[in-house]
Amino acid sequence: MSDTSFVRREMLDAQAPPPSQVGIIGWIRENLFSGWFNSILTLSSIYVVYWILASVLPWVLQSSWTATSLNECREQIAAAYGEGTSGACWAVIRERYLQLIYGFYPSELYWRPNLAFILMIFALAPVLYPNVPRKMLWFSGLYPFIAGWLLWGGTIWTPIAIVAGFAVGYGLFRVLIDRFGSLAAVIAAVLGTVLWWLLLAGPVAATLASTIPIGLTPVESRQFGGFMLSIIIGVTGIGASLPLGIVLALGRQSDLMILKSLSVGFIEFIRGVPLITLLFVASTLLNIFMPPGTNFDIILRVVIMVTLFASAYIAEVVRGGLAALPRGQYEAADALGLDYWKSMRLIILPQALKISIPGIVSTFIGLFKDTTLVSIIGLLDPIGFSNAIRANAEWQGIVWELYAFIALMFFIFCFFMSRYSMSLERRLQTGHN
């Protein structure tokens, strides 16, 4: 008698999935050849990649690393790979890479920018990674003054006097906040700090330097150049523009008419002017408004303009994050009895900054790449040095090798910034589930 029951009487063993649906074959089938249109795109892309590699790789590999001029480089390539062979002359990188990195910085003092770069990594670690002890944040705050002293040299009392200005401002804030309120205390603290820097920091540093002479060999700003200059401008601009941009965003959202008008006017003016115009102002016009005899360092002027330019864009990105928050978050902060600053610090800004991470990092990447514009005002960044190298009779006519090296270095920095942004978004779970 045949069994016609509809109830399973025995369990079947699990079967392995078809080989075409799993592993590398399954991934290729699903992502590259899932249909006739995707198959055509995949084959076309493979052909384009093959054509590019077939054109570029011989030029990259059939090269010379030991020549001392462009003509000698071409002779070596022709002797090694045959007449008419086109190859890269990487010898220019081997011969001039120190200038591309350090500019005209004295070679016997290379340890100073190297040490400043290593210390920068330690200073950024507690800011970028939560597993690093928070106690290291004090070093992050002091690092800009340590790095400035290492790079420019001079007496150690100058950065100490600058740091003392912040101590003066903080002391005024603590003394006045209970008597006159937070706004008056902040204004007094800012004015006290600025007056200390303008009137007292220089004489105090000079007096201490004459009494206890401790310092490093001074290096003039005109000796800075190459990637070192790009990193100085880029990192300083990034580090200073973020807090300034947050303050501007909060000012634009403020109910105080004067504060809001100043913030809106600053943001719209800066965003309406090209960066190269601001750099020309920094290099030529800014000294006109300074007192006679004032020596305002050109790199400092450029850093200030780059910071102001980036802060306006950061302010708009942060404002977008603030506008994206539901109104209920503000009402919840009010319901908890938090004042304005506590609600912003504990509830509003953390969420707004999470939302704004992609835009902030994109602005930072653009800022770092825009540091090459300083070559137009006479500073020898990597692009400026490449022009100087090509003007040399020995390397006149060489182009792609220098630009390829510069592009690779910028790609490395920008790639790591982009990857960090993605990891930060995953860690903070910025996206909506």
What one-character-per-residue DSSP string does 306-355 give?
Answer: HHHHHHHHHHHHHHHHHHHS-HHHHHHHHHTT--HHHHIIIIIHHHHHHH
Q: Which has more pLDDT, 310 or 333?
A: 310
Per-residue pLDDT of 101-153, as tens digits, reads 998 999 999 999 999 999 999 999 888 888 888 888 889 889 999 999 999 99
**What's the chain's length in residues?**
433
67 pLDDT more than 90:
no
pLDDT, residue 294, reads 61
Per-residue pLDDT of 228-276, as tens digits, reads 999 999 999 999 999 999 999 988 888 888 888 998 999 999 999 898 8
**Can you tell me whether residue 216 is helix, strand or coil?**
strand
pTM for this predicted structure: 0.84
Q: Rounded distance, CA 358 to CA 362, Å? A: 6
In sign, the C-alpha dihedral spanning 233, 239, 240, 245 is: positive
pLDDT above 70 coverage of the chain, percent: 94
Residue 85 binned pLDDT confidence (cut-offs 50, 70, 90): confident
pLDDT, residue 399, reads 87
pLDDT, residue 20, reads 66
Per-residue pLDDT of 4-41, as tens digits, reads 556 667 777 777 777 667 778 888 888 888 888 989 99
pLDDT, residue 5, reads 58
280 pLDDT more than 50:
yes
Q: Rounded distance, CA 202 to CA 393, Å? A: 46
Q: Rounded distance, CA 190 to CA 177, Å? A: 13
Per-residue pLDDT of 335-394, as tens digits, reads 887 777 788 888 888 888 888 888 899 999 999 999 999 888 888 889 888 888 888 888
Q: Which has more pLDDT, 93 or 15?
A: 93
Q: Rounded distance, CA 123 to CA 385, Å? A: 29
Per-residue pLDDT of 389-399, as tens digits, reads 888 888 888 88
Q: Rounded distance, CA 173 to CA 193, Å? A: 11
433 pLDDT more than 50:
no
Return mean pLDDT, the chain: 86
50 pLDDT more than 90:
yes
